[in-house]
Amino acid sequence: MQKIIIIDDEKDIVELISYNLEKEGYTIAKAYDGEAALQTIKAQKPNLIILDLMLPKISGLDICKAVRNNPDTSSLPIIMLTAKADETDKIIGLEIGADDYITKPFSVKELVARVRAILRRRHEENKSPAKEKFSWRGMQIDYASYEVLIDGKKVTLSPTELKLLFFFSHNPGRVYTRNQILDHVWGYDTFVIPRTVDVYIKRLRSQIEQDANNPQYILTIRGAGYKFAESN
CA distance linking residue 7 with residue 46, whole number of Å: 12
40-81 pLDDT tens trace: 999 999 999 999 988 999 999 899 999 988 888 988 999 998
Nearest one of 45, 51, 48, 16 to 31, comparing CA atoms:
51
Distance, in Å, from the CA atom of 56 to the CA atom of 39, rounded to the nearest integer, reads: 14
For residues 86 and 225, give the distance between their C-alpha atoms in angstroms, rounded to a whole number: 25
Last residue of a domain, one of 103, 127, 151: 127
Distance, in Å, from the CA atom of 51 to the CA atom of 55, rounded to the nearest integer, reads 9
Distance of CA 45 to the CA centre of its chain: 17
Q: How confident is the model at residue 37 (pLDDT cuts 50, 70, 90)?
A: very high
Same domain, 11 and 83: yes
Mean pLDDT for the stretch of residues 130-151: 87
Q: Domain check: are 102 and 23 in the same one?
A: yes
Whether residue 23 sits in one domain with residue 118: yes
CA 54, CA 60: separation in Å to the nearest integer?
Answer: 6
Q: Where are the beta strands (DSSP E) in the chain?
A: 3-7, 27-31, 48-52, 78-82, 100-103, 133-136, 139-142, 147-150, 153-155, 218-221, 225-228
Question: Using CB atoms within 10 A of its CB, is residue 113 exposed (0-12), middle (13-18) or buried (19+)?
Answer: middle
Same domain (yes/no): 7, 104: yes
Kindly state the average pLDDT of the residues 102-113. Answer: 89
Structural domain boundaries enclosing 170: 133-228
**Per-residue model confidence as pLDDT tens digits over 146-204:** 899 999 999 999 888 998 999 999 888 889 988 888 878 887 555 667 788 899 999 99
